Each structure stands twice: as structure tokens, then as C-alpha cells.
Structure 1
Amino acid sequence: MVVELDKKTGKYMFAGKIYKDEKYSKAYVSRIYFFLNKLYKFGVTSEYIQSNSMTYVKRDLRLNERKEEMTIWQQYDFDLFIEEVDEQMMKCFYSVLFYMGLRRGETMVLQWKDIDFRKQTIDINKTYRYKEKDPNKWLTPPKTNNSYRTITMPNTLSKMLREWFLECSKWDDFTKDKFVFGYYKPISPQTVQRRFDDAYNKAKEKDDGLPKIRIHDFRHSHASFLINNMAGAGFSGFDIAKRLGDTVETLHNTYAHWFDTKDKSIVDMMNKLL
């Protein structure tokens, strides 16, 4: 299969067909592009083909495309969902996502030695490479240098994890090197998604208004909660970025709409006082 330029239309053809990427989301097109680019690079390196045809493909950057609004859960939504999670370990897993804002990969590879119950902190120092088949390559450094962080747990989560720790510590070969979620090896992303879907469907039957979120939206839900409460609690966007393992710039770019809302609240306060 090759990518060719159609001289009549000026568009690029793949396998003899012209594809218009505007009918698909920018994220979806990017995933396909990077996958094919990696595939062609492998072909060149392995000397199956002579050149990488993807170097000729020009993508529409769609600079004016509006991002879809994030779907998040409030505390009520999470309570409705977590009530339907049967397993103690999975209750803890989703609670870490919601109350700590950790990335899925960071949560999957937590070990008991990363949790300090005396200080009520979690140390994030690694993540999980989802698509790597070699178990020796599952654990990798965090996404960025900012992702290395030690953050504090709320009392509710600390109590929940301590109970799970006491349960795990009863097992014969227990050590603090064991994974919090999965024990001998990290829990799989497929299991995380399957258990989520099962509990969500049950919760949806009780409240049809419960929005469907992605696993990563637990992190967005946590960020939303912090942003909407930062003024009254006395912490800043910098503090939120440190907790999430992001830069302030990334935080503002990702959650610009919510920060705009807070900016309006600040002006309303100023108008009353000035």
C-alpha cells in the first residue's frame, strides 16, 4: 500500500482512494496518522520498503476546530457509580482516580511502598506502558518531569486504602513491593474498563441521567472540583497543576473554560467591592 498524490484533485490517495479527514475528529485522524507513520518507518528500517510515504501526507491542522466539551462527574454521580462496584480493590482503584486525579497508568502501577499512611501521601514515580508485550517493559518513568510528585490523600480515601492494605497483608507472600491493584503484576487496562462498564450500566439503570465518561475523565472531574473550589479554599492554579503533575500552562489550556468561569466570579466580586 502506498500514498500517492492525485494530480487532478491535489489530494493524497491511500490504497487508491482519496480520504477526506474532515468527517473524522482531529484526535482520530492523528491516531491513524501516527500509527501509519510508525508502520512505514518500521518498513523502511527493516528494508521491506524504500521510503516512508507518510512523509508526503499533509494533515489539516484545523486550527479553528472547537474542542468538544469535557464530560465530568460531580460527587453525586461518583457516589451513584461506586455503589455498584462490587470488588474492594476496584472501589479503591476508581476512588484514587476520582479523589487524587491520577492518570490511569500511574494508578495501575502503584505499589504499597508508594503509599505512606502516616503522612497520608501517595508518591507517583512511574507509569504503565499499555501496549508493551514484554512484562519487563511495563513500568516506565512518568509522562513528564512534572509528573513526579507526592500528593496527600483525603481521609476517606486513606481509610479505604488502609483497609485494602490490611486485607492484602494477610496473604502469604505479601511485601510492600506488591502492586496495590493487581498484586503480582499491574491490573490490565481491559479489566479497568470492563469493571467500569459493568458498574456504570448498573448505576445507569438507577439514574438514567448519569453521563457516560471515559476513564481519563475521572482526572478531569478531579481537576474541575479543585478549580471550582480554589478561591474559597485559598489555593491557586499552580497548586492544582502540581497536584495533577502538569504545568500551569497545560492546566489553563486544558481547562480554559472552567478558568474563564472563575475569572467571571472574580470580576463579580470586584464589582461589588469597588
Structure 2
Amino acid sequence: MRKGENIYKRKDGRWEGRFIKRRTSKKKIVYGYVYGKKYQEVKEKLAHIKSLQKEKPEISSEKNDGEYIAWLFKHYLPSIEGKVKESTYSTYFRLVSIHIEPFFKDKSFSEITDETVQEFVDVLLQQQLQNSSIRLVLSFLKQSVSAALRQEYLTKNPIQHIQLPKEKRHNVHALTLKQQQELEDLARQSDYGLPILVSLYSGLRIGEICGLTWADVDFEQQTIKVNRTVSRIMCQNINSRKTKVIVSSPKTDSSQRTVIIPKILCTYLLDMKEVSTSPYLVSARYGMTEPRVINYRFKKIIANSKFSDIHFHALRHTFATRCLEQGMDIATLSRLLGHQSIKLTLDTYSDSTLNQKKKEIEKLNFLF
């Protein structure tokens, strides 16, 4: 028995309503169904679904992309632009363009299944991407899938049962005390050594150092306020290799912090301020500097030293290692570093914390 448009009386006594859910990339219709004990109930459900479908954007592509990729570029990415940091959006855009689009370019939503996504993970592994990079790609994929589920482009979450690669813990490379002393000597002899000493005695990230102004330093309280970071990001065009420098808030809320600095750094900065002609602690010809410039200057300073192959980030690790060696508790160190959680600090410096625990336990030998 049928009554009304696409509403049928079933053999079990219920009413069934049918609607067009979507069309595949080959224009095949995929139907959806609603049920109810009364005809009017089903009619109202269909009316509600049709009103939601009017609000939902049509997926079309000027290229030969499948539904999912067309939706990502035309709807999802534009919907989050402005809601996330510019550097984060740039990262997402590159992830889609470099990793996600090549694999999913001809796939409809109905073709995105557990098996498809697991195959995608295996392809990333074959490309020998780092585990952290794979997890970043999958994190974005998960966010976009959640949005597609909410908008009813997908009916099932295809990421629920994905097997991720095991995280590999990388050893932290910190300078020894002797190396640190040699590096400090080189830094003090150079006109560009300020970032090195700031990182060694505060643990600030290179982008955070770039954004520091003299107004951020409180010499009386011996503190530095971290409230901006400088980074260079790729422009949002996969065919372009152009980049630009942006100034933004630190990467997380915990990164926006006040760092207490030791007197040795405070004294050094006070001397530097007296001869500075810029509002920034570290400056370039046109004012504020950027990470690429600091890295270039750093490599030039250490070019002929015994540790010429170290990265600037090793100075932050050195700061953390010295703090732990002096008995600083992990919670305090985590706040100074601007980590999002104590667990992150523990995972990063597990070897250093273990060495410190051994030293503390050794003290039990001398109780009596």
C-alpha cells in the first residue's frame, strides 16, 4: 500500500519513507530510509531531512576529483579557515595536497571504508614517512571524517578500527656541560649569540625567541613573558613554493606563559638592551627576525666547532636536561617549557628523569 510521495505501508504495519541520500561520483543514486508507526510521523521525518539537505552544500568539482576531495577543498577547508591558527591551516592544506588528495582523488564517500583508510595508512608507511607525520595526517583525516558524518555524507566512521604504527621514542640530544660551556663562549664572542643564551637558560622555542621584545622582559622580577611566536609557512598553493612569515600566538594555551630566568641570563640581557637599537631582542635589517635567520646565524657560529652538526632545538633540550640534573620537579619543568601536559615532558625526558631518580636513590646508601 502506498500513500503520498515515496511513503509506503509495510507488511509489518509500519510506514516507510524513502529519500535520495546522495549520488556517487558515477551519478548512481544512494537512498536513505525512515520509519514510523503512522503516515504523518514518516511524512514529518522526510520533510525534516529534505530541509537539512537544502542547507547542505552540493558537491561538485571542476577537476576530476571524487566526492570526498571535492568536498575537502570546496567546503571543509574553507569552513575551518579563520577558526584555526594560520600556521595550522597551512599545515592542513599541505597535508591534503601532498598526501590525502593523491590517494583519495577518485573516491566517492561510499568508497571510504575501514579497508580503504587502512590501505592509505599502509601507503604512507611504504613512503617511509615518520610516525609523527602519519599521525598528523590521520588526525586531520579524522577531523574531516567527523564533519562528513555530522553532515551525513558518511553513514559510518571508517577510522574506528585503523591500526596505527607504534610510536617510536626518539632520544633527546642535549649538550654535555663541557659542550655547553664551549658554546656559551662562542655565543658571547659573537654579535648574534643572544638567541643561543636565551634558549640555553630559558628553554624557549626558536619562534618564541623571534617574537620577544624588550617589553616582554621584566628585569626586576627576572621573568620573560611569552605571548607570540614567529614562523614561516608555505603559501596555500600546491604549485607554488613561496612562503611567508607570520606572527601568531604560541602553539597552545600552555605555551603562552611567564618564564622565570636565572640571574646570569638577566645580567646578559640587561647589557644587550643598553646597546640595542631595536624593540626586539633579536633583530634583522628590517626589524623583527624569523627562525630561518636565527638558524643561519647559529650554524655560522658553530661551523668550526666540535658540535657543528647540532640543531638549534638541542639548546631547549639542554636547558631541560640541566634543570632535571639540578633536581627540578617535572611539573615545574613542564610549565617552563610550555608543554601541554606533564606526560609529554615525562615521555620526552624519560632518560634524564631516570638518571635523576638513580642519583636520588643512591643517597639512601648514606643514611647511616
Change (3 A) 1:259 1:19: closer
SS at structure 2 position matched to 1:68: coil
Matched, 1:126 2:228: yes
Q: Indicate the residue corresponding to 1:213 in structure 2.
A: 310
Q: Tell me by how many angstroms 1:265 deviates.
A: 2.6
Instruction: Say what the alpha-carbon RMSD is for the aligned residues.
Output: 3.9
Q: Is the 8 A contact 1:84 1:202 kept in 2?
A: no
Correspondence for 2:165 among 51, 54, 62: 62
Q: Which residues in structure 2 correspond to 1:1-274 (within 5 Å)?
A: 1-3=102-104, 12=119, 20-21=125-126, 23-30=128-135, 33=137, 61-63=164-166, 65-85=167-187, 87-88=190-191, 90-131=192-233, 138-169=246-277, 178-182=279-283, 185-203=287-305, 207=306, 210=307, 212-230=309-327, 235-246=328-339, 247-270=341-364, 272-273=366-367
Specify whether residues 83 and 268 from structure 1 end up closer, same or farther in structure 2 by C-alpha distance, changes over 3 A only.
Answer: closer
Identity of aligned residues (%): 19
What's the counterpart of residue 44 of structure 1? none
Structure 1 residue 29: Cα displacement: 4.3
Kept in 1: contact 2:203–2:319 (CA 8 A): yes
1:110 deviation in Å?
0.1
The normalised TM-score by structure 1 is 0.70
Count of residues paired in the alignment? 239
**How far apart in 1 are the matches of 2:250 and 2:196?**
20
Q: CA deviation at 1:97?
A: 0.7
Report the counterpart of residue 48 of structure 1 in structure 2.
Answer: none
Structure 2 Cα separation of the partners of residues 126 and 18 of structure 1:
37
**Where does structure 2 lack aligned partners over 5 or more consecutive residues?**
1-101, 146-153, 236-242
Partner of 1:46: none
Structure in which a larger fraction of residues adopt strand = 2
Give, in whole Å, the separation in 1 of the partners of 2:270 and 2:133: 40
**TM-score, normalising length from structure 2?**
0.54
Question: Which protein has greater RCO, CA pairs closer than 8 Å, 6+ apart?
Answer: 1
Tell me: CA distance 1:72–1:211, structure 2 relative to 1, closer, same or farther (3 Å).
farther
Asked if structure 2 preserves the Cα contact closer than 8 Å seen for 1:82 and 1:199, the reply is no
Say whether the 8 Å CA contact 1:72–1:213 is kept in structure 2: no
